[in-house]
Chain A
């Protein structure tokens, strides 16, 4: 075996240029695929984070059937046991009560459809860092303050700013008319374009009054201590809550479109990768073909003097493996700084309004950071290595049917 390794190592340097070109193509394949996967993953992670952390949370509790209808009639009483969930369900950090529904917002001649959410200012901030997302004005001081916060996208549509008065119109609990006039106390910015064009916050008590839904909630969003604990939290809640009255959903269930869109996009990405791999494979295969073809005579001699076919095949396979390892390792190592760069300096289209708006339609902010995850590096390097190694099986096939007598008849 040692001899085979020595032979293989020396053989790959017989044609330095070819070895380096082949290794380089593998290198770029690894680098490119790592970068592609990292950016794709990074963009989606950020997008999910934007909707989950900024508003939805990983888990929510509703009255049964609420999420399907989003109707104020499917509300539930804000009982203490629910508000004190963190005390009896492990993995839950904060329970954030909300009452939310859709409304029409108007200011001067402008109107726009919005989501009006009644919040507990303290708890809401604990989960979504809402106070830190203020871009103008000030945050709510208490639950009864008759004022509202607008997402800056909404403010833009309404052409309203801090100090202006905005009128909200909606249908309240059991169909009562809901109407109110509130001063804009502050503006909030959401990274998610979807949220940014529809969020309006009222203090919980004010919202309840507006909707005519005293002491009721539409949802309790849960801040979890650790993202990975979501399944356990779900399981505990489903076991302990009366599931004929409540539904417990994680964000996957609440936003199936998002999950689906990501899956579709990821599949598209893999298709691109497949094409990339295919192109690289042809290059490598060309090298393998040349390598075996030009050494037919030599192979004949080696088989004649007593080298076993399997030894010779392994030797040639090792050569290709070495070239592949060279390219893969170099690509793997080079990926780190490159991906890290794009992790720290995301590709940013926000200076171009057109591109930004296009992405906004799909719910993306126009910023694409690369995910910096060892798993991605490793998997891409491994995939390329596997492909190469598989291609390298060709010499086995070739050598298995090589007749030394014919090989040496030139």
Chain B
């Protein structure tokens, strides 16, 4: 089943002053359960692509369907709800709300989606335990390492069972141990929860873990390879 379908995505920043062509007619299909990396050098358009696929930004041209819904037809408010209910986000850093504990951060999106309290607690606790944070649930982000913070962010994105998770360079600020650790966790959750992961990176060690690698260069897809791992 296709979860994300993008057709002819083009993004031009500052069209009136100094136009920057961040994306040039990108076509992409992502299926349920994929574990896919968008790779490419800095400035190749990875963030722009993920933002548009996640409905955070609108393309200059082209369309995105998520589960068959053309998100360009959604109003601003509908899009916000749609995003909240169907897409999980993990950003490069400072993902978490500093004044909330790991547990509270983890359940934040579920809270916004108004899950019943018991279910919310059970699910976030189980996930936090799975990512190895059983003893850190009541810590604030400032008391956690960068890798631990990213794990909480992954749990937060995953907890409400979104269609897919978009992670923009989730390991960019992590050391190699934490990077491996986070990828292990993402890969395992991808298997166990059958949740689709689409993440960007320019880290070779991360690329090696992906089952599909889409390479962007100068706003164009220059390679799209699948590996059996």
Interface residues of A (CB under 8 A from B): 3, 7, 10-11, 14, 297-298, 301-309, 311, 404-405, 408
B112 CB contact (under 8 Å) in A298, A306, A408: A306
Chain A: minimal CB distance from B113 (Å): 8
Check A298–B94 contact: CB distance below 8 A: yes
A-B interface pairs (CB < 8 A), number = 48
**Closest chain B residue to A302 by CB distance?**
B97
Among the interface residues A304, A306, A307, which one has the most CB atoms of the partner chain B within 10 A?
A: A306
Is A308 a contact of B57 with CB atoms below 8 Å?
Answer: no
On chain B, the number of residues with a Cβ less than 8 Å from chain A's Cβ atoms is 24
CA distance A14 to B141 in the complex (A): 13
A305 touching B99 by the CB < 8 A rule? no
Whether the Cβ atoms of A305 and B156 lie closer than 8 Å is yes
Residue contacts A-B, CB under 8 angstroms, 10 given? A3-B111, A7-B97, A298-B94, A298-B97, A301-B94, A305-B89, A305-B108, A305-B157, A306-B109, A307-B84
Q: A405 to B91, alpha carbons, bound, how many Å? A: 11
User: Measured between alpha carbons, how far is A7 from B97 in the docked complex, in Å?
Assistant: 9
CA distance A10 to B101 in the complex (A): 11
Contacts of B74 in A (CB 8 A): none
Measured in the bound complex, the distance between the Cα atoms of B170 and A322 in whole Å is 36
Interface residues of B in 69-114 (CB under 8 A from A): 80-81, 83-85, 89, 91, 94-95, 97-100, 108-109, 111-113
Q: Give A301 to B80 CA distance when docked, in angstroms.
A: 13
Chain B residues with a Cβ under 8 A of chain A? 51, 54, 56-57, 80-81, 83-85, 89, 91, 94-95, 97-100, 108-109, 111-113, 156-157
In the bound complex, CA of A309 to CA of B79 (Å): 13
Q: Please determine whether B100 and A7 come into contact, CB atoms closer than 8 angstroms.
A: yes
State in angstroms the CA–CA spacing of A3 and B108 once bound together: 9
Cβ of A14 and Cβ of B98 under 8 Å apart?
yes
Q: Which of B54, B89, B99, B157 contacts A14 (CB 8 A)?
A: B99
Q: Closest approach, in angstroms, between the C-beta of A178 and any C-beta of chain B?
A: 86
A14–B84 alpha-carbon span in the complex (Å): 27
Q: Say yes or no: A405-B156 contact (C-beta < 8 A), given A304-B89, A305-B89, A307-B112.
A: no
Q: Do B57 and A405 have beta carbons less than 8 Å apart?
A: yes
Could you tell me the distance in whole angstroms from the C-beta of A407 to the nearest C-beta in chain B? Answer: 10
Picked from A10, A308, A405, the residue with its CB within 8 Å of the CB of B80 is: A308
CA distance A10 to B111 in the complex (A): 17
